[in-house]
Chain A
Amino acid sequence: MPTGGPTGGLVLRRAIRGQRRRVIAASLLGMTHQGCEALVPVVIGAAIDTAVATGSSEQLLRLLLVLAVLFLVLSTCYRTSARITEGTGEIAAHRLRLDLAARVLDPRGGADADRLPGALTSIATNDARRVGSVATVISYGVSAVAALVISAVALLDISVPLGLLVLLGIPPILWLGHRISRPLERRSETEQEHAAHASGVAADLVSGLRVLKGMGAESAAVARYRTTSQDSLSAALRAARSRAGHEGAVLALTGVFIAVIAVVGAYLAMDGSISVGDLVAAVGLAQFLLGPFQLLTYVNAELAQGRASARRIAEVLAAPVTVEAGHEVPVDRAAGQLALRGVTLGALRGVDLDLPAGSLTGIVAQDPAAARDLLVCLAREADPAEGAIELDGTPLTSLDPDALRRVVLVAHHDADLFESTLLDNVRAGADGGTASVERALRASAADDVARLLPDGGDTLLAERGRSLSGGQRQRVALARALAADRPVLVLHDPTTAVDTVTESRIAARLREIRRDRTTVLVTTSPALLAVTDRVVVLEDGAVRAAGHHSELLAADAAYRAAVLA
């Protein structure tokens, strides 16, 4: 997906076009429904006129029958149309969610840069729903227009001047209502912001409950929430006042309008240009017409929201990828030799490094940023600004990122565990059988972790593995990385939260399990560095020294300071 991705308009059009037939069917049914609704007051007027006023029971029965048919049709049409049209929204939203998920999880990345997970989640739920509801309101809009036309014809048929009065009177009334509601919208927004903020503060305090209790700060936290809650209350009251004012004004305006219609109609009825039934129908129609007009305003507001949401969705879908996909696929039995040539990116300034196939190399970076950027390059989460990295002689940039990750696995220090069982987490990246999983669990001492859990390896882990301690989490993440058994494995600080004894145990087993496979340990842990074949020291973004851990310890004071403390 190059930069020329979809625009907001295209997202909207696609959402609607994908379901053209449903939209058309729902619109036709909706039009019939609204038409029937418009006819109800007409029938009431006719009943007053031709049955109640004349005493013709035959006529009454006939009109009641007409009313029955009318209700049957309008009810059926309403139900069917609403089901189709609301369903359209649900389906459109679902499709958008899938598109967004596919884009965000794309191996080439890009969509998640600069966007918090919460923001992306909100786009995939709230914005997708709003765009979906555009597909819904289109049919509502069409039916509202149909209702307007039918009522207009009925009104003009009763009396041209009265009809014109109603039709020309409603838009200014709605315009006035809209003018009045403008400050309301702003205040409602402020109200919602405050409410969301109060809710956020509450959730934040509750999530940090352990920390709050740890320092005995409950009272301070309660006081803080009270302030936020009171702010939210005053915003809510301001908005409520506006809302009430708007509501009252609309009520008064409509009331006066109906009064004018009734009296003008009465004049016309008195001079015989219309019948009493016509008068009743006209008043009824004037009342009814406010509905479709309101519906149109609602449709308009939804469209505006939908457009904004579609724009946000389009931005995600069209986000430029961080790494261009190459088309080549690494050979099946990759040797796993890596070579870095003058790699420059962020804190890296021309790193030259050879990682022979099957070697175990330690990398000590004084600057955490350099370590991070190195990992980013090796994982192809970004490509070097200058220089190149080669895997078995092939530049990484010519490889498909997903295929590359079949050979090279970069396990970040803060790698996330997922909400499934411990074993499922470990198995996630493993293509091999249970044997490799068993070995990995043992090598990372994650089997000890499993033993302490209520259901062993089948224990369900909480979101992000939060039900485990930091050290346990690290061991499970390490087990997962080892179980994946890739020809090249890059580990970043895999044991910082693990106790000393376990760490040295892991170091020894790590060397064993990765025998003849290329492994890189980016760490300053002496226990891990001690088992490496060679240690490379990065300083100021370039390789400053290289050698065996023990040689460096003996010869290099800076190294000693960095590693031992």
Chain B
Amino acid sequence: MTSADATKSEGPAQASEGRTRGTEQSMSGTRPDRVLLPTATGAESLAALRAMLHGHRLLAVGAITVLVAGTGVGLLTAPLLGHIVDLVVDREGAPALTLPLVLLVVVAVARGVAATVGSTLVARLGETVLAALREQFIERALRLPLDRVEAAGSGDLVSRVTSDVSMIGKSVRQALPEFSRSALTIVLTLVGLAVLDWRFLLAALLAAPVQVLSVRWYLRRAAPVYGEHRVATGALQHQLLDSVGGVRTVRAFRLNGTHTELLERRSEAARDLGLRGIHIVTGFFSRLNLAEFIGLAAMLGTGFVLVDRGSVSIGTATAAALYFHSLFNPINATLFLLDDAQSAGASFARLVGVSNLPAERAAADHHTLEDGSVEVSALSHAYGSGAPVLHEVDLRVRSGERVALVGASGAGKTTLAKLVAGVHSPTGGSITLGGVDAGELGPAGVRRAVALISQEVHVFAGTLADDLRLARPEADDEALRAALDRVGALEWARALPEGLDTVVGEGGHRLTVTQAQHLALARLVLADPPIAILDEATADAGSAGARVLEEAAARALEGRTGLLVAHRLPQAAAADRIVVLDQGRVVETGTHEELVAAGGRYADLWAAWSASRREPGEKVPHPAPGADSDVDAPVSPTV
């Protein structure tokens, strides 16, 4: 038993370590106004677990059998030791000791072998199921409709995929083997006690009420404190990333004091909750000491009475005391791990909740697009219950045509782009792609036909080649180089430390915003969809980068229908046709020349843009009054 107490004193240390480690990345940016993704109910979780174990029944039965056998063999130690005591008491000669010695050694070795095999099988079972679980989760998560993920905040999905998966992993790796072994040991020891004499079993059970009460006491207090601790460490982590990530800004605006104070507050909160957690864990183990004493005293008392009456030998009484002694460690471990089991259960429910969401309709293969034309008729859209963002928009884009969408912020350009790309379903009207109704194509089919590149850049962690191959997994290096070359990115890609094999993205070589968008355009070339939508894909790059990217975009769009949300007018001017949106309606449409000549809204925009670019000597037109009444001072190059 007594080695139990060593692990016990390590208990809190490991516990608090495990707790902070597993949850470091949780709680980033969860806000109250979010509609979090669903969590499975207890029944759903159980059903999912059963379904996952179903395929591994043989493995599960094998693991349990070996563990039971090993634990059962191990329980022979105490009676053998008791037998040795009896031999001594009965003054048997030394040769009588040979047999128990041999048996003890055999038991030890058998136990070792069974533990090895049993734990391996348990790990195989646990790890295989865990791998299936996380793969299933990712598969479903990546196929969730985007608006559903956005409603929940991407932090929700990220925290499930990192902290929940690692929480379960930790349980499978550390808690499950120990838990299964300890629980088995307890059950079989109690059986062993009953075999020695049923009254020993009763004596042992005297400790149970205290244990039950302690566990209830512990779980009631620990769960909320650990929960808060997780939130607090998450918030601390978050604040660190916020302050450290923005350290240049912190210095420039002299915010050192404010941020140090914020960090101190978060760190203090984490520390105080940590201290409270320690208080509870130590209180718990301290209570269990009482149970140990009650049980041990009852065992010695029972032994005393039974030996006195001649019902059992001194050796049996010794064996019973040693049995109970050796129970301390497993009991403490099992009860302590109940908490981990609870957390793992909660994490499991969060994963199953997403995995159980209905799958998106798979892309239907029998619909083939006739061409790259896009036809939008009477398209209306509103987000949630909000005001409509688009009103009855009609738009016809010929196959291969390049159309620029122009308009002020909030005019509905991005919404129109997202609807055509299948990110959202419109609240009214219809979209036809290459002669096929978008509804019939299904979201997956639409995404195969239409690529959307927004100003949000993401460089996937891994080699540059891996990043590109996401767009076309079967592409060889030659194809990747050709795609990079087409968008004019091959030069810098070659110049990277290891060329296409350079590790980029999170933790790797950092690409500039321009390079990252270059990469996105190369992916577009590889994916090669008939229709492409660029939503301000060149906006964040800075003025020099924007021009490079516009050229690249033009090349990437060759041979496909292009819908561009343009924020730089030259890009719009170069398009085949310009569509001006205002407050969710199409107000003008035509070529650059037509619209400039028409003197409408686009002409005003163009005038404002050109004003600062005129060389002196030319007449500088002031922005037309009324077009933008907010302009305070006339924009003039001669200030």
Contacts and interface: CB of A to CB of B under 8 A. Distances in A.
B214 interface: no
A415 B249 contact: yes
B283 A504 contact: no
A493 B166 contact: no
A133 B617 CA distance: 75
Interface stretch (B4-12, B340-348, B430-438, B591-599): B4-12
Contacts of B117: 244, 248
Contacts of A187: none
A480 B116 contact: no
Contacts of A117: 240-241, 244-245, 247
Contacts of A201: 461-462
Which of A87, A247, A254 is packed against the most chain B CB atoms within 10 Å?
A247
B120 A240 contact: yes
Contact of B139 (A90, A137, A222): A222
A255 B10 contact: no
B83 to A, nearest CB: 10
A414 B579 CA distance: 31
Contacts of A411: 252
Contacts of B87: 266, 270
Interface string A183-226: 00000000000010011111111111111111111101111111
B2 A98 contact: no
Interface string A479-512: 0100010000000010011111110110111011
Nearest to B535: A214
B409 interface: yes
A212 B97 contact: no
Contacts of A178: none
A282 to B, nearest CB: 11
A262 B325 CA distance: 16
B109 A252 contact: yes
A295 B108 CA distance: 22
Contact of A236 (B123, B444, B608): B123
A105 B142 contact: no
Interface string B81-114: 1001101110111100100110011011101111
Nearest to B299: A44
Interface in B111-163: 111-120, 123-124, 127-128, 130-131, 134-135, 138-139, 141-143, 146, 149, 154, 157-158, 161-162
A53 B314 contact: yes
A255 B111 contact: yes
Interface stretch (A16-24, A158-166, A331-339, A549-557): A549-557
Given A67-B296, A200-B461, A215-B451, A255 B109 contact: yes
B65 interface: no
Q: Top 10 nearest A-B pairs by Cβ distance?
A: A255-B108, A252-B112, A291-B6, A288-B2, A240-B123, A248-B116, A259-B104, A416-B246, A244-B119, A429-B253
A74 B237 CA distance: 38
Contacts of A203: 25, 158, 161-162
A212 B142 contact: yes
Contacts of A402: 251, 254, 256
Contacts of A525: 543
Interface string B268-307: 1011001100110111011001101100110011011001
Interface stretch (A307-315, A349-357, A456-464): A456-464
A266 B13 contact: no
Interface in A97-142: 97-98, 101-102, 104-107, 109, 112, 116-118, 120-121, 124-126, 129, 133, 136-137, 140
Nearest to A406: B254
Interface in B493-543: 505-507, 520, 523-524, 527, 529, 536, 539-543
B243 A37 contact: no
Contacts of B267: 94, 97-98, 101
Given A107-B256, A204-B505, A209 B286 contact: no
Contacts of A5: none
A269 B293 contact: no
A471 B567 contact: yes
A399 interface: no
5 contacts: A52-B307, A75-B290, A82-B12, A270-B93, A379-B252
B252 A266 contact: no
B250 A105 contact: yes
A266 B451 contact: no
Contacts of B630: 505
In this complex, which of B87, B157, B245, B283 has the most chain A Cβ atoms within 10 angstroms of its Cβ?
Answer: B245
Interface string A288-325: 10111011001000000000000000000000000000
A203 B349 CA distance: 19
Given A266-B84, A496-B546, A497-B536, A255 B105 contact: yes
Contact of A207 (B91, B158, B244, B632): B158
A93 B271 contact: yes
B408 interface: yes
A250 B639 CA distance: 85
A213 B423 contact: yes
Interface stretch (A6-14, A386-394, A526-534, A537-545): A526-534
Interface string B223-248: 00000000001001110111111111
Secondary structure dominating the interface of B: helix
A153 interface: no
A31 to B, nearest CB: 12
Contacts of A220: 469-473
Given A107-B251, A412-B249, A480-B253, 14 more contacts: A40-B1, A64-B297, A78-B289, A90-B278, A102-B260, A121-B237, A205-B138, A206-B161, A216-B444, A279-B88, A429-B253, A493-B543, A500-B568, A554-B617
A384 interface: no
B187 interface: no
A198 B158 CA distance: 13
Interface string A17-44: 0000000000000100110011011001
A558 interface: no
Contact of B6 (A76, A109, A214, A292): A292
**Centre residue among B7, B93, B115, B568 by max chain A CB count within 10 A:** B115
Contact of A229 (B21, B135, B162, B274): B135
B543 A496 contact: yes
A550 B612 CA distance: 9
A121 B630 CA distance: 45
A222 B127 contact: no
Given A52-B307, A236-B127, A248-B116, A294 B243 contact: no
A87 B281 CA distance: 12
B616 A554 contact: yes
Most buried by B among A226, A406, A463, A554: A463
A415 B93 CA distance: 87
A244 B135 contact: no
A335 B94 CA distance: 102
Contact of B24 (A97, A125, A140, A211): A125
Interface string B153-188: 010011001100110010001000100000000000
A249 B117 CA distance: 11
Most interface-central of B4, B107, B458, B547 (chain A CB within 10 A): B458
B246 A464 contact: yes
A217 B470 contact: yes
B43 interface: no
Interface in A447-466: 448, 452, 460, 462-464
A245 B112 CA distance: 8
Contacts of B408: 499, 501-502
A149 interface: no
A60 interface: yes
Contacts of B169: 195, 236
Contacts of B527: 215-217
Interface string B577-612: 000000000000000000000000000010011011
A110 to B, nearest CB: 11
Given A86-B278, A501-B605, A44 B300 contact: yes
